Structure 1
């Protein structure tokens, strides 16, 4: 009996055996991390896909606007994501001001990044006299790319892992216990769950509504679908994800993790935008010719 239990305990895949490392390229004097490459890939592929979307009839912006939006979105992701992480997840960083700029070590909040991008879109839309909500709709369809690569980077970094479990696909991540790095207990690879739900599934849902329906002519519907889809996905995965160590007590006292609390307004907002989208439906004039799309 004891031998059987011992064998079962050692049968799980250890993170070290996967041969993954946070650094993608080490030149000695300079390092390129997978975390940085994930953000870069999400932004570049998202921009490429946005160009495909705005090439369709009824686009709320031109190519030059999409190019400018890359700058606003990147700034919003970095400033909003970092600020929200410090405010909601680890305010202790403020005691060491220089650590605020150590983005390569992780520590970004999607909720803050989304808010930062949203503010950036509003600023650009006001400057260029664009319909900010429709711009949001098109950008929302591109976000799952960044979410997918970002969650894969979390996995490669061996961070934000899940709760202890005995499922066959559990992974034993390295953990720091009493100042010593050891191989931890089997845990859910919750980073991969999020990559699948927030990246692949949500991306396919938005693809369907953009290309197979006329949702893009109902201002707010696509961004509403994104908010609802992300909110439900993140809320669900949080049941398998280990709360941040410094927020463990918060989760126990409130009954929900910080991630779940932050998704509540997203879910409510998404439902509202979807329910009220038809009343905002527009008649979009083509940029060339005389064809109208209702």
Structure 2
């Protein structure tokens, strides 16, 4: 196969060793930090424009958003890590449970992080008596930057790559596992599925949400932006799964496509299976928001 050589980028930006202990700042961690900060500023910009919201009243103040942000960060980390452990590698972590907190090694699940963030939002709205739909819309608007940068960090880490391909933009990822391609004579090129997701779930979906919020009045219909985010993410993830390398525990001689559920040669990967409820919820929220909520004029 021919392909593009993987760029010589270290997963670590810099590292130091103090008293025999190794400390490093990784692109993976920085991506989430920067992504959350960018998303926070986008949400603050929307909250400072009352005319964008239903009834001309934002669902919370910028100060309340800062308080919520702390809980969201905890939800992303705890939910994302536990989701990865439970959904993708339960057997491995049952035997090596002490590695569960080692998030710096990689291994986060969007679906788990989504559940963690949802829990944080529910608790916040209950305590602050804030409108759940409006708060959810603000967080949906803020989410794509972290997804965009997180997927780019996955690429830098040379993880979560795609299936083998002969397309000219296939990337030759390093490592024994990435080069284990049946039938490959020389180097094995794979789909850069991390970059596909960065473009679809991060850049494209984020641009659409910003236009909907700031130009097309979507925030005046509570839950509409949340629905678009969930449906957009669900569609993008479902499609990318067709070219994404399945997790090793789902691959076997009788199941080379790594399908989590399959029948008569057809089936769904674990990523597609977990994404279907998100996609369905997004579609239902869009329909509900358009039919039940009348947009309030600016």
TM-score (normalizing by structure 2)? 0.86
Q: Matched residue of 1:125: which SS?
A: helix
Structure 2 unaligned spans of 5+ = 51-56, 181-185
Could you tell me which residue of structure 1 aligns to residue 28 of structure 2? 35
Q: Which residue of 1 aligns with 2:80?
A: 81
Mapped partners of 1:21, 1:209: distance in 2? 37
8 Å Cα contact 2:238/2:272 also seen in 1: yes
- Deviations, residues 142-179 of structure 1 (Å, cap 9, x unaligned): 100000000000000000000000000111112325xx
- In 1, Cα distance between the equivalents of 2:292 and 2:118? 19
Q: CA deviation at 1:12?
A: 2.0
Per-residue deviation at 1:134?
1.2
Residues 149 and 198 in structure 2, CA contact (< 8 A), matched pair in contact too? yes
The 8 Å contact of residues 219 and 280 in structure 1, kept in 2 or not, is answered as no
CA distance in 1, matches of 2:191, 2:268: 18
User: What pairs up with 1:85-164 in 2 under 5 angstroms?
Assistant: 85-91=84-90, 92-164=92-164
Whether contact under 8 Å (1:226, 1:270) holds in the other structure is: yes
Q: How far 1:14 sits from its partner (Å)?
A: 2.0
Correspondence for 1:260 among 246, 258, 272:
272
For residues 61 and 70 of structure 1, the distance between their equivalents in structure 2, rounded to whole angstroms, comes to 12
Task: Identify if the C-alpha distance between structure 1 residues 200 and 73 changes in structure 2 by more than 3 Å, giving closer, same or farther.
Answer: same
Specify whether residues 48 and 252 from structure 1 end up closer, same or farther in structure 2 by C-alpha distance, changes over 3 A only.
Answer: closer
Structure 1 counterpart of 2:11: 22
Cα root mean square deviation, aligned = 2.0
Cα distance change of structure 1 residues 13 and 224 upon mapping to structure 2, 3 Å threshold = same
- Give the SS at the match of 2:98: helix
Measured after TM superposition, the shift of residue 111 of structure 1 is 1.0
Partner of residue 62, structure 2: 63
Cα distance, 1:27–1:272 mapped onto 2, change above 3 Å: same
Gaps of 5+ in 1: 1-8, 285-292
1:235 aligns with 2:234: no
Q: Which moved more, 1:241-250 or 1:194-203?
A: 241-250
Residues of 1 paired with 2:106 and 2:260: CA distance?
Answer: 25
Q: 1:129 and 1:266, CA in 2 relative to 1: closer, same or farther beyond 3 A?
A: same
Q: Deviating runs (4+, > 6 A) in structure 1?
A: none
CA distance in 1, matches of 2:111, 2:188: 29
Residue 184 of structure 1 deviates from its aligned partner by 5.3
| In structure 1, C-alpha distance between the alignment counterparts of 2:159 and 2:295, rounded to whole Å | 47
Shift of 1:94: 2.3
- Asked whether the equivalents of residues 218 and 280 of structure 1 are also in contact (C-alpha less than 8 Å), the reply is no
- Taking structure 1 as the reference length, the TM-score comes to 0.88
What residue in structure 2 maps to residue 189 of structure 1?
A: 192
Structure 2: distance between partners of 1:191 and 1:98: 28
User: How far has the Cα of 1:190 moved from its partner?
Assistant: 0.6
Q: Distance in 2 between matches of 1:106 and 1:80?
A: 14
- What is the rounded CA distance, in whole Å, between the counterparts of 2:117 and 2:85 in structure 1? 17
